[in-house]
Chain A
Amino acid sequence: MGLKDYMNNIVEAVVTTAKGMRITARYGVDPKEEVTLQYPEERWEIPERYRGFLHNDIKKCTACTMCVKVCPVDCISLESVRGADKKMVLAFYDINIGRCMYCGLCVEACPVKSLKHTSGYEKASEVRGELILHFIEEDAAEIKARVARQVAEAAAKAAEAAKAAEAAKPAPLPSEAAKAAVVDPKPAKAEAAKGETKE
């Protein structure tokens, strides 16, 4: 290492340090450069497509179980029974947001657009159970019993009507009809899966 290199090294070290310090000084004195968002007081604008907590509009939901099937981490669970008007009635609809990875596949899959991402992102809890969102407050067993009752009544009515119309034919027992109406979610899943692969 010659003297020239030696001096060059010193000069270069000083010059590059000075350059860097000029930049940091500029940031240091310019208050406009502060970009911190004071979170609890200030909040950033939530964009329209923000994928926050899931929300299911129960009134719209048809219990088609598409969301359950498409969810990669199985965070949605639901059970439904077939109601008197042949439509599915939800017994419960839970989303475990502690497990949810906010991928949005279920929202895309929802045919009636009842499942949506909200802009909510704040929910901390000391209890894991609180991270399960229950979208139906009524007890699942009660709903099932009520629907079964309705189905039975409807079946009885239908049976009476049928009796009145065709007195010769015997009507099926109401209790049996109610039993048949309670749909196990698993076969429904398989059915829907078949339908899906067809398209």
Chain B
Amino acid sequence: MTIRPNALPTQEMTINMGPQHPSTHGVLRVILTTDGEVVTRAVPDIGYLHRGLEKIGERVTYAQFMPFTDRLDYLASMNCNCAWAWAVEKLAKIEVPERAEFLRVIVCELNRISSHLIAFGSYTADMGAFTPFLYGIREREKINDLFEMLCGARLTYNYARVGGVSGDAPPGFLEKTVEFLDYFAPKIEEYNELISYNKIFVHRLANVATVTAAEAVAYGLTGPSLRGSGVPFDLRKDEPYSVYPKFDFKVCVGTGERGTLGDCFDRYMVRINEMRESIRIIRQAVARIPDGPVLAKVPRVFKPPVGEVYFRSECPRGETGIYLVSDGTTNPFRLKIRTGSFVTMNIFEKVTRGLMIADIVAVIGSFDIILPEIDR
């Protein structure tokens, strides 16, 4: 198409997407420069939810910071709880009873399922299909019931403790967990039939915002976003922590089944498939959980040795790395939390160039970002 020399001059339009927008998953603001429907540049602006968690971390003790990790990624509080506990235990060299580790793995994987359910549900809602979202929420409520039984809260669990977990599984918890898994496993197939392979849905996601494997590694993508690009890297397998080496599970990677490798659809499918693997892990963990105490004898206020530790664990939204510098006092000297979503936002501007406005929504959903984790 040639441009007519006497055509009317056109100009690009700057649109503010967010911080109040239904599909930015919170208070993300994206400054869009558009040429009609085509986005020429999308710059993320973050920080609307900055609460200074790292600064708070410097004034509370190691044990007291636990409830704040609930607020790090509120859809996967258990994973953040456990990540903090593992990091501090590594720093202070605390041995954890095996039953506690099994319980942690069970709750982490349950929380991974519930977090992926939200990712799945909100993604479909972003794409215009509202019904699967409510199906996802319905299943998540059942997980919340389990957690409520275990620790008494439905959102901010605060379950892990430095040295173990806050309470043993109440009678009937493990049985109910298995019951839930039996109920939930066929639902994944139903989701796939309902929406995943729906022609419109596939068309919306396939070949959109492709990230190659090399780019994904260079930009520090982690978790499902990295695996969606075909990199089989999972911290649970490749840098094993806790009792994960004892379980048999598969690392799900994107295959490019409906488009190019590393597009939105691959990232989406990795999450769907990971739910199946989590079910497998939980089944094994429930079957093999040993008896014993669930909390090591750790004083409420303790002084870890001088030193520093960088510990990373596989959270539903990528690697949550905790960098702790201890000066030998009761409080952390410096605490830095590297979260999956924050680093992921780095690649956002690059992959969204030339997409359409509707695709911006698809990209945000496919990275499954969550704002409290970005802004901390």
Contact = CB atoms under 8 A, between A and B. Distances in A.
Direct chain A–B contact by Cβ atoms under 8 Å: yes
A20 B195 CA distance: 7
Given A72-B64, A72-B65, A193-B301, A17 B198 contact: yes
B170 interface: yes
B193 interface: yes
Interface string B152-181: 110010100000001100100000000000
Interface residues of A, number: 31
Contacts, number: 81
Nearest to A20: B194
Contact of B149 (A24, A47, A104): A47
B199 A105 contact: no
A108 interface: yes
Nearest to A117: B152
Contacts of A12: 199
Contacts of A17: 198-200
A90 B68 CA distance: 30
Interface stretch (A48-56, A130-138, A156-164, A171-179): A48-56
Contacts of B200: 13, 17
> SS class of chain A's interface: helix, strand, loop or mixed?
helix
Contacts of A105: 63-64, 66-67, 158
A189 to B, nearest CB: 12
A27 to B, nearest CB: 8
Nearest to A10: B199
A199 interface: yes
A51 B153 contact: yes
Nearest to A23: B194
A103 B299 CA distance: 18
Contacts of A108: 166
A49 B193 contact: no
Contact of A47 (B63, B148, B194): B148
Nearest to A108: B166
Contacts of A125: none
Contact of A19 (B151, B194, B300): B194
Contacts of B330: 197
Interface residues of B, number: 37
B138 A35 contact: yes
B190 interface: yes
A132 B149 CA distance: 27
B158 A104 contact: yes
Contacts of A20: 193-195, 198
Given A70-B300, A105-B64, A197-B330, A51 B193 contact: no
B67 A49 contact: no
Contacts of A9: 199
B302 to A, nearest CB: 8
A95 B1 CA distance: 71
A195 B152 CA distance: 30
A50 B152 contact: yes
Contacts of A109: 300
Interface of A: 9, 12-13, 16-17, 19-20, 23-24, 27, 35, 44, 47-51, 70, 72, 101-105, 108-109, 117, 193, 196-197, 199
Interface of B: 60, 63-68, 70, 131, 138, 141, 145, 148-153, 156, 158, 166-167, 170, 190, 193-195, 197-200, 299-303, 330
12 contacts: A16-B199, A20-B198, A48-B170, A49-B167, A51-B152, A70-B63, A70-B64, A72-B64, A72-B65, A72-B68, A101-B67, A103-B156
